Amino acid sequence: MHRTRRVRGSSPIPATCVLLVGLAALPLGGCGSSSGAPGGGGYHGLTTDARITEDNAAPLAAVALGLGTGLDAFVGRPLVGTAKPADGVAVLPLPFTPDAVLRKDLRVALAEENGDVVAFDYLVPGPAGGQVRVYGNLWPDGTGVLATTFTDYGRGDGSELGGTVTYLIVARDADTGRITDMDIRLAGFVLAEAASDLRLDGEIAATSPVPGRVENRLDVEGRDRVTGKAFRYRDFLLVRATPAVGTPAEDLEGEAFEGAAGRLTVTTDAPVAWVGASPVGGGPVRLAGAEATAARVTPLSDGTAEIAVDADGDGTFETVHVVGWDAVK
């Protein structure tokens, strides 16, 4: 029979538990907010096929690439303005198998020899106010369920987190402890900053068949409660490869919705290369919309993007512009 041990505490999460990107676990992170902005979540945009034009190509490209949508941390991209793990500032507690130091700090023992289940329930104060509650159960093999609920959690960089993220850890590599299969469920998961208030709801199925490769299947909807922008990903596959040597790259494929325009079909000719939080090569990423309208987004090595638009659906890109990624977002 499995026994359950309960753990309660209020100490900050040790640095070993605060990861933004790593190969020991799926490179996932998150952020949410308990902002008082009205309206709650849900996608309230158009669902018909988008007509791609020169005027809307940039915001459509942003949604297709997951720029400015709050998904960066979940797919392993560095977060702009986020404190580094070495700074000792908690961003999001990730699923983990406690090491010896952490077990001592939390007064937890896995006790694999007798099959104990570890039940977590502790609070972590935010660097700039508020707190996050971490709770759930882990089996001796490192699988289980962990939830994080943020309450006015100030990260110390001008942003505030809240809402709940639940991790269903389905499988780990027995030799390395690396998470290989996990579902992430987002409920009222919002990042509030000075100029935006992003809320995400839905589910991300993340699998890592080999080290350095994570396949994220997104069924997520979100909106910015400041700007009113809305977006949705439906059965959208984002595969991120992070080699030990070389540049991270992503393949993108599936249905993406931009609230003001509607539904897009997204495909990628070649993986998009990333340096930090910006694309720098690969692609192009292709957007297909209503009546054969289309756009082609090609990341350039100087940190800009070439956006070509076929607004009449005749198969010819009539306009081509080079813009900075800030303009795309």
Question: What are 36-95's pLDDT values in tens digits?
Answer: 333 456 788 999 999 999 999 999 999 999 988 888 867 777 654 433 333 322 234 344
Contact 220, 63 (CB under 8 A): no
| φ and ψ at residue 318, rounded to 5 degrees | -75, -35
Q: Which of 12-16, 72-76, 79-83, 245-249 has the lowest mean pLDDT?
A: 12-16
**Residues 146-174: pLDDT tens digits?**
898 999 988 888 888 889 999 998 988 88
Quick one: which of 124, 171, 169 has its CA closest to 148?
124
Quick one: which of 144, 92, 152 has its CA closest to 120?
144
The pLDDT of residue 115 is 56
Residue 244 clears pLDDT 50, i.e. is over it: yes
Written as six digits, the tokens of 85 are 């793990």
Domain assignment of residue 176, given as a range: 4-328
The pLDDT of residue 50 is 98
Contact 200, 190 (CB under 8 A): yes
DSSP assignment of 207-238, as one string?
A: E-SSTTEEEEEEEEEEEETTT--EEEEEEEEE
Model confidence at 193, pLDDT cuts 50, 70, 90, reads confident
Instruction: Give the SS3 label for residue 1.
Output: coil
The pLDDT of residue 186 is 93
Give the Cβ contact number of residue 249 at 10 Å.
20
Written as six digits, the tokens of 203 are 């589910």
The pLDDT of residue 24 is 32
Residue 202 clears pLDDT 90, i.e. is over it: yes
When divided into structural domains, the chain yields a total of 1
Instruction: Give the SS3 label for residue 250.
Output: strand
| Cα(56)–Cα(215) distance, integer angstroms | 29
Task: Write the CB contacts of 1 (distance below 8 Å, at least 6 apart in sequence).
Answer: none
**Which residue's entry shows tokens 């977590």?**
120
**Which residue's entry shows tokens 């070649």?**
270
* C-alpha 54, offset from chain centre: 28
Quick one: which of 30, 31, 42, 32 has its CA closest to 230?
42
Total count of residues recorded for the chain? 329
| Cα(14)–Cα(170) distance, integer angstroms | 24
| Cα(169)–Cα(148) distance, integer angstroms | 14
